Amino acid sequence: MSMMFKIIIMLEKLVQKNSSKLLLVVLDGIGGLPVKDGKTELELAHTPNLDSLAKESALGLHIPVDYGITPGSGPGHLGIFGYDPLEYQIGRGILEALGLGIEVKDTDIAIRGNYATVEYVDGKPIVKDRRAGRIATEENRRITQRVKENIKEIDGVEVIIEPGMEHRFALVLRFPHPLPEGSDQIKDTDPQKEGKEPLKPIAMNANAQRVAEVVEKFVDKVGELLKDEPKANYVLLRGFSQKPKMKSFEERFGLKACAIAVYPMYRGLASLVGMDVINFEGSSIEDEIEALRSLWNNYDFFFLHIKKTDSYGEDGNWEGKVKVIEEFDKNLPKILELKPSVLVITGDHSTPSVLKGHSWHPVPVLLKSDYVLGGTSQRFTERECLKGELGIFPAKKLINLMLAHSLRLAKYGA
């Protein structure tokens, strides 16, 4: 038995129930680097409520995967949910499917897709636009409905497809029987550049051969069906993935959990670990907090995800990232009114505007409970978090700290 497995079993045995409420707020990509006057986005933001909270909280920084490793959103969230991202490598197709409300079974292959624009040269499709001009989401829905009505099964395999945002969609191929491990090892069909022919879905092992054959037939059928569409006349597929075998969040940590998130990716991640994914009206920070307040009596653990901090970071728009931080700060009192037993504010990774993408830098963490030292830091910023009592720790240990500060972990040993 590996040391990691022993630690997981030990933690599960220590978990005990009580009436505490735990809230994890993820400001996606919150960490940054200096962008103006030697200050990061967090340092530039006017955040009186976060600053006040920081003074009485435990602060620190977490490392999402390992030192120097830049995480994707999947590994970043799995870590703060308490799952080792090196042990659980989740395919993007699964996340897209779950996020769009498709149940994924052991018999399924989930795939992330783009509608694309191709032109035919000597009868061969050549990619002109990998994203079909980023068609409107409403147009995506119309085209996806057309595919649904015309391609329901291929060689006894059920075809399930749902529209995402703009040009994106999720595809699930449901086979009659559970698939052996490795059936998702298929090369993407997206050539990653315009002016090239779409790639074939090549199986990388024997278990994936049957799946690859069905995928190729699906692509051909869609290409024929959508030939008359002016923009979205083809599909490019990537992120082939099977449902991973993992214990649910409640099984591991004894917490009935829900997720409040707008974007499919993050709703999918929460669903993957067994959290209830909440549908609510609107998409603003205020709307998410209102959903949180309405559900407060129904769950033990709440995951609240805010996306735009990451989006602006990836755009290199530090001013936009600062504004989202300030918007969250203005709404923070509504969260504090709920009086969570443990409140954590952090990110899944850092997204410095100067890098226009995810980075390997440690992520700021604020933990508020009745059982912290506090008084070490003046603000919720990268530099102030370095002064905090939590130090720098692996993201997968964050759930341990939340459980301990809510008195949900019994003593270990005599």
Q: Name which of 61-70, 89-98, 122-131, 175-184 the model is least confident about.
A: 89-98
pTM: 0.81
Confidence of residue 3 (pLDDT cuts 50, 70, 90): low
- Burial string for 67-80 (b: 16+ CB within 10 Å, else e) reads eeebbbbbbbbbbb
- Residue 116: beta bridge partners? 234
pLDDT of residue 2: 54
The residue extents of the domains of the chain are: 16-90+247-405, 96-241
Q: How far is 74 from 81, CA to CA, in rounded Å?
A: 11
| Dihedral of the alpha carbons of 355, 356, 361, 362, in degrees to the nearest 10 | 150
pLDDT of residue 98: 82
pLDDT of residue 171: 96
**CATH code for the domain defined by 16-90+247-405:** 3.40.720.10
Q: Name which of 39-43, 269-273, 362-366 the model is least confident about.
A: 269-273
Separation of first and last alpha carbons in the chain? 23
pLDDT at residue 154 above 60? yes
- State mean pLDDT over 68-73: 94
Per-residue model confidence as pLDDT tens digits over 183-206: 999 999 999 889 999 999 999 999
pLDDT of residue 360: 98
pLDDT of residue 244: 84
* Residues 254, 152 contacting (CB under 8 angstroms): no
pLDDT of residue 413: 86
Q: How far is 189 from 191, CA to CA, in rounded Å?
A: 6
Per-residue model confidence as pLDDT tens digits over 234-287: 999 999 999 888 899 999 999 999 999 998 778 888 988 999 999 999 999 999
Q: How far is 57 from 61, CA to CA, in rounded Å?
A: 13
Confidence of residue 207 (pLDDT cuts 50, 70, 90): very high
pLDDT of residue 101: 79
CA 1 to chain centre: 30
Nearest to 70 by CA among 397, 357, 395, 365: 357
pLDDT of residue 284: 95
